């Protein structure tokens, strides 16, 4: 499995090099990335690699749902992480994990299978916010149509960079690899090693933690109306971050 992942990483990095004109800097992508800066296959040690979130998402209007991120909605089983949307006596619950360490420019990858259900979001992203300073780069699946994936980013709280990409397959039916390469002057998103979208305006600059989460009913104008179905589970097979030196 790890050998296959390294091959994917090499292909993506060489594609990046070609796209931004730096092919001469990395002459051998596979050997240049023999080890990841951070990698998890959600095995036995994963409980120490991630923080399980517990906080409340408050509804902003009567059409939305308040919900809690609960640690019990995060499970590690058979070298996968399972994030679940569910209910308890207090109402709707979701699952979220994040790294204790922050990471900067480089290649971020996830192998995952999102939830298919209107009103539900399955996500992989980085996030940092302190006052007016912040970073967020998103890979998000809107459960009403999992034949598409949404890319987005925020710089110091300023977003509105959404781009909906047609996958050509249903992401909820199997595991696929999604990635973004973040540099000081651009973000490039990938699906199974193929470039899908590039942004180069007002790019965020601050290191951020890696996050993964699932939630429901947050904003029906964005994700569709949630029908109350629970439990619903997204599967995360592995994630990686590779710092790419001398590429900026």
Give the whole-angstrom CA distance, residue 70 versus residue 88: 10
Q: What pLDDT score was predicted for residue 246?
A: 34
Q: Is 131 left (phi over 0), alpha (psi -120 to 50) or beta?
A: left
Q: What pLDDT score was predicted for residue 220?
A: 79
Going 236 to 238 to 241 to 242, the CA torsion angle's sign is: negative
Q: What pLDDT score was predicted for residue 242?
A: 96
Q: Which H helix or E strand runs over 2? A: helix 2-19
Q: What pLDDT score was predicted for residue 178?
A: 98
Q: Are 192 and 15 in contact (CB under 8 A)?
A: no
Q: What pLDDT score was predicted for residue 14?
A: 46
**16 φ/ψ angles, rounded to the nearest 5 degrees:** -60, -45
Catalytic site includes residue 34: no
Give the whole-angstrom CA distance, residue 110 versus residue 241: 9
- Which regions in the chain score pLDDT beneath 70? 1-35, 47, 56-66, 218, 245-248
Catalytic site includes residue 136: yes
Give the whole-angstrom CA distance, residue 230 versus residue 215: 11
Q: Is 18 left (phi over 0), alpha (psi -120 to 50) or beta?
A: alpha
Hunting for tokens 């509105």 — which residue is that?
160
Domains of the chain in sequence order? 37-242 (2.60.120.200)
List all residues 6 or more positions away from 166 whose beta carbon is below 8 Å from its beta carbon: 147, 148
- Note the pLDDT tens digit of each residue in 9-45: 555 554 544 444 333 222 222 223 346 799 999 987 7
Hey, is 46 helix, strand or coil?
A: helix
DSSP type of residue 73: G
Q: What pLDDT score was predicted for residue 62?
A: 53
Q: Which H helix or E strand runs over 221? A: helix 220-223
Q: Which of the residues 34, 130, 132, 136 is marked catalytic?
A: 136
Query: Nearest-CA neighbor of 52 among 70, 65, 67?
Result: 70
Going from the C-alpha of 234 to that of each of 35, 80, 95, 181, the distances in angstroms are 27, 10, 10, 23
Q: Which of the residues 140, 160, 173, 245 is marked catalytic?
A: 140
Q: What pLDDT score was predicted for residue 131?
A: 84
Q: What pLDDT score was predicted for residue 60?
A: 54
pTM listed for this prediction: 0.85
Q: What pLDDT score was predicted for residue 80?
A: 95
Give the whole-angstrom CA distance, residue 32 versus residue 13: 10
For 32, counting Cβ atoms within 10 Å of its Cβ (0-12 exposed, 13-18 middle, 19+ buried), the class is middle
């Amino acid at each position: 499995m790890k050998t296959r992942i390294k091959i994917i990483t090499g292909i993506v990095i060489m594609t990046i090099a070609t796209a931004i004109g730096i092919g001469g800097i990395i002459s051998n992508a596979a050997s240049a990335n023999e080890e990841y800066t951070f990698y998890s296959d959600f095995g036995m040690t994963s409980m120490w690699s991630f923080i399980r979130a517990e906080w409340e998402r408050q509804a902003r209007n009567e059409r939305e749902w308040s919900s809690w991120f609960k640690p019990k909605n995060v499970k590690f089983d058979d070298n996968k992480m399972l994030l679940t949307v569910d209910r308890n006596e207090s109402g709707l619950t979701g699952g979220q994990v994040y790294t204790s360490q922050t990471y900067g420019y480089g290649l971020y990858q996830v192998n995952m299978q999102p939830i298919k259900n209107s009103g539900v979001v399955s996500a992989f992203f980085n996030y940092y916010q302190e006052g007016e300073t912040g970073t967020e780069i998103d890979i998000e699946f809107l459960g009403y149509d999992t034949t598409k994936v949404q890319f987005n980013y925020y710089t110091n709280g300023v977003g509105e960079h959404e781009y909906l990409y047609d996958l050509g397959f249903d992401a909820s039916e199997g595991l696929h690899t999604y990635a973004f390469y973040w540099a000081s002057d651009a973000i490039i998103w990938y699906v199974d090693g193929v470039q899908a979208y590039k942004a180069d305006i007002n790019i965020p600059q601050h290191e951020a933690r890696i996050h993964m989460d699932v939630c429901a009913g947050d904003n029906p104008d964005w994700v569709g109306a949630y029908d109350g179905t629970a439990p619903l589970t997204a599967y995360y097979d592995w994630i990686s971050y590779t710092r790419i030196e001398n590429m900026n």
